[in-house]
A and B are shown apart, each in its own frame.
Chain A
Amino acid sequence: MTNGSGPGPAPSTHWVDAVGAAVFALVAGFALLLLVAPSLIVIAVSFEPRAYISFPPSGFSLKWYWAVFENRQLTDSVQVSLMVALWVSLLCMALGVPAAFASIRGTFPAKAGLNAFLLAPQMMPGMVIGIATLFFGAYIAFRASNTMLVLALSVFCLPFVIRITMARLADLDPRLDEASANLGAGKLETFVRVTLPQLGPALLAAGAFTFIEAFDNVTVALFTSDVRGRPLPVELYYLVQNDSTPAIAAVSAIEIGLSCLVMLVLGRTVGLERLGGPATKT
C-alpha cells in the first residue's frame, strides 16, 4: 500500500507521502483534541446558572460551586478521601521504596521472581482486588470499612511506587556512592547526602501519583469502602448515576484544577517526560 512505484528509488515528494503526512497530522490533531476537550467542556458546564447541564452554558454563575461547599455529604466525603489517600501513600511508600532497593541493588537468588511478584498487582483489575478483599474480609469476619479500603488500595497502588523508584534507582550511578565512601563518608551519610537527593524527585512523583490514584479510585472503593462515610469517588458515582446536576461538573472542575496544579509542580520538579513511563497503570 505504501509502494506505488515499485522497487527502486521513488521520488521523495510522491503524492502518497503528502497525503500520508496530512492524514497523520489530522489524526494526531483530532486525538489531542479528544484528550483535552471533555475536561474543558466539564469546566465550562460547571458555570451553568440553570439547574440542568447544557453546552455552551446559558450564563455564568458560581452557584454550583457554593452548592458543593454547602453539601455536607460531599465535603465529608472529601475529608474521608483525603485521609484514605494519605494513609495509602504513606503505606505504599513505606513498603515500596525498600522493596525497590532490594529488587535493584539486591543480589540474591530468585530476584526475577521477586520482581514479578512485587509488580503482580498491576495485572489485577481494581474491581478484582476490591471484590477479593471484600470476600477475604467477610471470611475473617471483617466488615467493609475505610481501613479495608486503605489496605486494598495499597495493594493496587504499590506497583506504582515500586516501578517509579526502581526506574530511578536503576539510573543512578553507583560510582557516586563509591566516591562518597572513598571520601570517608559512612553508609548512612552516603545514603542521606548522596542517594536520597538523587532519588528525591522520583519519590515525590511516586507519592503524588499514589495519592491522586487513591483519592480518585472508584473501582476498588465501590467494593470495600464504608457504607457510612463514603469516599468522594463513591459518592460521586451514585450521584452521577441518579442525577445530572451541574454540581457534579463543579466537583469535577475542582478535581481537574487540582490535578493540573499537581502536574505543574511535578513538571517543575521531576520533568513531565520522566513522569509518563512508570505511571502507566490504571
Chain B
Amino acid sequence: MHPVVRRVLHGGGFWPALPAVAFLVVFLVLPMLTLLAFGFVTIERGRIVGDTFTLQHLHSALGDQLIWRLAWRSFYVAVISTVLALVLAYPVAYLFSQTSGIWRTLILIAVISPLLTSALVRTYAWLVILGGRRGLLNQTLLQLGLIDQPLRLLNTDWAVIIGMTQIHLPFMILPLLAVLSGRDRRLEEAARNLGAGRVRTFFTVVVPMSVPAIFAGLALVFAVSYTNFIVPQLLGGGSYSTLAVQVYEQTVVVLDWTRGAVLATILLTSCFVFVYLIVAGGSRLSRWSEIRT
C-alpha cells in the first residue's frame, strides 16, 4: 500500500487536517482580516483608496449616540430573551430526564424539529401570530373578550424578544438535556433519604450539577440573540433597529462598507466580551458550588 494512504488510515499525523486548515485560512482568516482592515482605511467601490491607516471611522462610530442606543437595545433584548429561554428550557430538559418511552421521543421531536426548519420560516410564523389586526393572538384575545381593541404586538421590543426566545429555545434545551439525562441520581436519593423535599433537592442537588450546561446554553443563546438581525427586522418593523440590523443595513442597503466593517467589528468584539464574561461567571459559579457541596 502507498505509504501516504497508510498514514491517512492509521491516523497519527496532522496532515489529514491540512486541507481543512488551508481552507479556513483562505476563506475565514483572510476574510476576517479584510473585514477588520476595511474599518481602518477609506474605501470607494470596494477598493481601498490611498492606503493610510485611520482611526477616524472607529472614532466617529463610537462617538455616535445612535450606535450606543442600538447597542444597548441589542444587549437588553438578548439578555431578556436568553433568561426567558433558560426559564422555559430547564423544565423541559428536567421533564425529559424524568420520563421514558413515547414521551421522551415526543419531547425530542419537539426540540429538534425546529432546528431542521429554517429560522426564516419560524420568524414568519411569528408574523402570522403577532401580525396586525388579523393576527392570531389579537383575534383570540378579542374573541375571548379579554381586550376590545387589537393590541399593538408587532413592531415592539416584546415581539422581537418573544420571537428570538422561541427560535433559540432548542439551543438552550439541548445542552441541559444531555447533562440532566446523564446525571447520577444517587445523590438525589441520598438527599431525599436525608429528609430534603423535592424542591429543596432540586435546587441544592440537581441545579448545581448542571451549572456548566446552564452557562454553556446562556453563552450560546446570548451570542445568537445579540447578533440576530433577521428577527428584529421582520418582527420589529421598518423603523426598529439594533446594532446587528445596522451592520446589515450599512453593508447591503446604504452600501457604506467602511461603516459596515466598523460596526461589524464592534458587534463581534462586544459579543466576544459578553460571552467571555458569561463563561467566566459560569466556571466561577461551578467551582463555588463544588466547594460548597
A contact residues vs B (CB 8 Å cutoff) = 1-3, 8-12, 14, 16-17, 20-21, 24-25, 27-28, 30-32, 34-36, 38-39, 41-42, 45, 52-55, 94-96, 98-99, 101-108, 114, 117-118, 120-121, 123-125, 127-129, 131-136, 138-139, 151-152, 154-155, 158, 162, 186-188, 190-191, 212, 215-219, 222-223, 233, 236-237, 240-241, 244, 248-249, 252, 255-256, 259-260, 262-263, 267, 272-273, 275-277, 279-280, 282
Contacts and interface: CB of A to CB of B under 8 A. Distances in A.
Interface string B239-268: 000001001100110000100110010011
Contacts of A272: 105, 108-109, 112
Contacts of B17: 98-99, 101-103, 106, 114, 118
Contact of A125 (B8, B112, B123, B223): B223
B88 A240 contact: no
A28 B91 contact: yes
Interface stretch (B27-35, B55-63, B64-72, B144-152): B27-35
A28 B92 contact: yes
A158 B27 CA distance: 12
B183 interface: no
Contacts of B131: 53, 244
A71 B218 CA distance: 42
Contacts of A16: 197, 199-200
B35 A131 contact: yes
Given A35-B169, A277-B174, A99 B197 contact: no
B5 A188 contact: yes
Given A24-B95, A41-B128, A273-B108, A114 B21 contact: yes
Contacts of B199: 2, 14, 16-17, 20-21
Nearest to B93: A28
A20 B233 CA distance: 38
Nearest to A275: B112
B179 to A, nearest CB: 11
A237 B234 CA distance: 9
Interface of B: 1, 5-6, 8-17, 19-21, 23-24, 27-28, 30-32, 34-35, 38, 46-48, 87-89, 91-92, 94-95, 105, 107-129, 131, 134, 136, 139, 166, 168-171, 174-175, 177-178, 192, 194-200, 202-204, 220, 223-224, 227, 229-230, 233-234, 244, 247-248, 251-252, 257, 260-261, 264, 267-268, 271-272
Contacts, number: 316
Given A2-B203, A131-B251, A263 B28 contact: no
A223 to B, nearest CB: 7
A187 B194 CA distance: 56
A259 to B, nearest CB: 4
Contacts of A36: 110, 113-114
A31 B95 CA distance: 11
Given A108-B12, A136-B30, A233-B118, 10 more contacts: A34-B88, A41-B128, A94-B19, A102-B13, A155-B27, A158-B23, A191-B9, A223-B251, A272-B108, A282-B168
Contact of B197 (A10, A25, A94, A127): A10
A187 B1 contact: yes
A105 B268 CA distance: 33
B8 A259 contact: no
A277 B178 contact: yes
B23 A55 contact: no
A205 B268 CA distance: 30
Which of B120, B200, B203 has the most A CB atoms < 10 Å from its CB? B120
B229 A127 contact: yes
B14 A98 contact: no
Given A158-B24, A216-B119, A42 B124 contact: yes
13 contacts: A38-B125, A39-B114, A39-B117, A121-B28, A128-B268, A133-B27, A134-B251, A135-B34, A155-B23, A252-B125, A255-B117, A263-B116, A276-B178
B135 to A, nearest CB: 8
A38 B122 contact: yes
A21 B119 CA distance: 32
B166 A34 contact: yes
A222 B171 CA distance: 23
Contacts of B267: 125, 128
B251 A42 contact: no
Nearest to B137: A55
Contacts of A31: 88-89, 91-92, 169
